[in-house]
Amino acid sequence: MTSTHLTVTNLCCRPGSQELFDGLSISVAVGETIELRGPNGCGKTTLLRIMAGLQQPDSGDVIRYVEPIGYLGHKFGLTSILTVQENLRWASMLNGTKFDTARAQDLLETFELRTATNKLIQELSAGQKRRCSLVCLLIGEYKLWLLDEPFSSLDSQGEELVRVLIQEHCKTGGSAVIASHSASPLAHAAQVEFGIS
Partner 1 sequence: MRFGALYRRELLIEVRSGVESIIPIVFFIIVVGIFTFALNDLISDDSKVLVSVIWITTLFTSILSLDNLFKRDHADGTLAVAVLHTDALVAIVVAKLFAHWTLTGIPLTILGPLIGLMSGMQLEHAAILGLTLLIGTPTITMLGALVTALLVGLGRGGELLTVLILPMYIPILLFGMGVCHLNIDSAPYTSELLWCLALLSGSITVIPLALGPVLKLSQDS
Strands of the sheet containing 59-64, edge to edge, are 21-29, 4-13, 59-64
Does position 96 bind partner 1 by CB under 8 A?
yes
Choice from 95, 101, 191, 197 touching partner 1 (CB under 8 A): 95
How far is the C-alpha of 31 from the C-alpha of 169, rounded, in Å?
8
Q: What is the biggest distance separating any 2 CA atoms in the chain, rounded to whole angstroms?
A: 52
Choice from 8, 11, 24, 69 touching partner 1 (CB under 8 A): 69
User: One-letter amino acid identity for 196?
Assistant: I
Find out whether 110 and 161 touch, Cβ atoms under 8 Å.
Answer: yes
- Chain centre to alpha carbon of residue 177: 7
Does position 38 bind partner 1 by CB under 8 A?
no
Residues in the interface with partner 1 (CB under 8 A) total 27
Compare residues 119 and 188 and give the one whose CB is closer to partner 1.
119
Does position 86 bind partner 1 by CB under 8 A?
yes
How far is the C-alpha of 90 from the C-alpha of 8, rounded, in Å?
30
Compare residues 56 and 197 and give the one whose CB is closer to partner 1.
56
β 21-29/4-13 pair status: antiparallel
Does position 77 bind partner 1 by CB under 8 A?
yes
Q: CA quadruple 27, 33, 36, 37: dihedral positive or negative? A: negative
Q: Which stretch binds partner 1 (CB under 8 A): 6-14, 28-36, 50-58, 160-168?
A: 50-58
Q: Which stretch binds partner 1 (CB under 8 A): 33-41, 86-94, 168-176, 178-186?
A: 86-94
Query: Residues interacting with partner 1, by CB under 8 A?
Result: 49, 52-56, 67-69, 71, 73-82, 86, 89-90, 93-96
